[in-house]
Structure 1
Amino acid sequence: MSKLTRHICALAALPAEVTARIELIPLGEFRLGDKRGQKPMRLTDAPAVIAASFAAAPGHVLPIDFDHRSFGAQGAADSRAAGWITAMDVQGDRVWASVEWTPDGIKALSDRTYRFVSPVFKTRADGSVALIEGAGLVNNPALPQLRQLASRDDNMDPIEEIAGLLGLPTDKPEDIVGRVGALLGAETQLASIMAVAGIKGDDAGTQICARLQQGAVVDPAKYVPLSAFTELQTQFASLQASVHGDKAAAALDRARADGKLVPAMETWATELASKDLAQFEAWAAAAPVMVTPGQRQLAGRVPPVKTDALDDIERQVASMMGVSEDAFLAARNAAVKEV
């Protein structure tokens, strides 16, 4: 804390109405607009600076005076307080202060005797803000370029104004964008409803509610009761299931007749045909002829010869069934052995 230099910079035009929340100091790097502006200053660890400032302040409150009179070397005769900073917090890229204004401060702001607030802070040798000591009401700001960002009257930041109308904080732009998008979507839907219903005028909501209460006249030639529509949907779904079931049963019968489906594969084949008929039919087309117990030949085809390896078609079938080649080979040879 050696070589501390006192700096005063005006940051915010005060609002049109006296408010208990004011912008106090920016975060990050900033410069003053006067002769001290050549040296950059910065506020990095704002929570730590805020805590240290209140810890060092008498009574744990920071004064706001007129023209920084109470911050002189010996103080000034007129060191009245315009207000007291009772809390500070970070919002967006600013430190904000909660203020309890005195009657003198309220009068000065209401009469426009003073229009700007500037914080008093100390910096280290490297220009970093070490302590916030208070603020003062001034009319000659050292940072006029921040005027529009801070002003709450003629030059109010449109983002802050929109956030205020929506009841949202300014430090969450994604929430502001989302709320505006939702409002635009609702406006589009309302316009569509008005166009379909033939509603005009500014009282669209009242007219829509009135029609809902009275009941709209429905052309029976164009609409059916909801109960009838639901029943039709149920019947159609049942018909679809029945048709699919018939197709699956027919595909299973063909596989059996072709000698490609043995009893040990019935459960798997039935589930596959029920869930994915196309995949089952692809398997049946590529599957080899399998011999069932008690039969030497099936569907006019010669049973497969027992070997110690699978052919290309058998390997493809094993892959589609999700079994290893060794397991498939063992099951196939066992089936041939029983014949």
Structure 2
Amino acid sequence: MSQRTAHRTTRIAACSAIAAAVAIAACTFQLPGKADLPEGSVLLQLTPAGEFRPNDGRELEPGSWRIDAASAQGVIQRFKARGKPAVIDYEHQTLHKEKNGLPAPAAGFMRDLRWVDGQGLFAVADLTARARDLIAAGEYLYFSPVFEYDEKTGTVRAICMGALTNDPGISGMQPLSLVAAASAAFLPQPPQEPSVNPLLKALLAALGLPDNTTEDAAITALKDLGPLNKLKARDTAALTALQLGADATAETVIAACTSLRTAQAAAPDPAKYVPIESVTALQGQIAALTARQLDADLEAQIKPALADGRLLPALEGWARDLGKKDMAALTAYLGAAKPIAALTGTQTGGKPPVATATGDQQLSAEELAVCSAMGISPEAYRKAGASIATGAAA
């Protein structure tokens, strides 16, 4: 595995050990060439100001790393809170030692962090004599900081450590120089109150920014006004729809929306409910249709039964009442009844009855029906009747 490949693998492994929303980046910056280095502390640039990107092909979700004066103060405070200096080693061996088992000697230590407007974040560092000799001999040309950053925004969050390396990692970074920490030309001067004209101060206040906001931060805020204007237009449309004035407070808007939701919840859904008058009329129509259908069904059952003798005329009223209550029972009764032939025709075939030789009258239709039901002939019925009459006379 090449030196660069091993270096990137270590950075990826280090990233996986950090919380999900935080990543670690190791980047390199050029050191001075063969030159005498001053004794004592040196000032090492850790990051440039604003946005900066890797040049080793890695893809960043936010597109670039970034740091400004405001976020740098958070980095500096976290560095001070750790309570111990950050190590500077060779080729990030501190990150590799668990895998390769080799020692990770220190090349120096970062004692403090400083922000320099327009230049970026710097470390006040002490280098070992060996590290100074290697740099002076040209064996190391770059300094590589290792820092945590937010994976979603790319904002630098904390400085972890650094290394002397020959694997550059930042695109477009100017060569850095090691200078004495006591050199006032490179150290940040005591903060002074910036001079801000009233118009710019009012503009920053309207954007919700402090007076000491950097130019880059102010420009970024102005670019964000597009979505803000869209939100204002949406707010105006909402106020108009709710019939509220432009001076309506948030509480008033919330109350109006709550009232509207309550009214909508109380109103019946026309897709689920119909007027009671329509339901009543429909019920009446259904009842009338049902009655007509029942009458038609009764006629279809009773009329043929009367015609073929399965139902006597005297039982018609009873049959109709039964059918209205239980059509199935009426149907079953008429289905089991036997037709009475005497009720479907006449024994004389439509001819007038002929008197018998004995002078007796012909039987009536009812008597003929009885004969048919009992299976006896009219003569036998007459004889039986005569015998009954003789017995009664005796």
TM over 0.5: no
Question: What is the TM-score when the length of structure 2 is the normalising length?
Answer: 0.36
Q: Highest Rg: 1 or 2?
A: 2
Question: What is the TM-score when the length of structure 1 is the normalising length?
Answer: 0.42
